[in-house]
Amino acid sequence: MPVSKSEFETLYPADFYTPPELLDEDEMYTVYEIARLLQELDPDAELEPQTEDILLDWAIPWIMVHADDLVVAEPRDDDEPGYYGVNTAE
């Protein structure tokens, strides 16, 4: 159900990083690492599963919106996720 803006003490602009601002162009990242970086956390930070789920709610749409600016690599093993990186091809 919608909530009135007046119920919030502070409202912030929805200003998200671009892939080159967030990711090192020579590195590949999992969606979990991107989720942490979007919250200015270390990519290897330990998180509770519930917290990680919330961060993924931000990371997955971010990846979709920036798909044209990203490259994707398949997982190296069956038990790991895929990887994303900055698309540096011209």
Q: Profile the chain (90 residues) by mean pLDDT over runs of 10 residues.
A: 94 88 96 95 95 93 95 93 91
Measuring CA to CA, which residue among 22, 17, 19, 38 is closest to residue 88?
Answer: 19
Instruction: Decide: 9 and 71 in contact? Cβ < 8 Å.
Output: no
Domain extents in the chain: 26-86
pLDDT of residue 90: 66
Residue owning tokens 């709610």: 57
pTM of structure = 0.84
**CA quadruple 15, 19, 25, 30: dihedral, nearest 10:** 110
Q: Can you tell me the distance from the alpha carbon of 88 to that of 13, in angstroms, rounded to the nearest whole number? A: 28
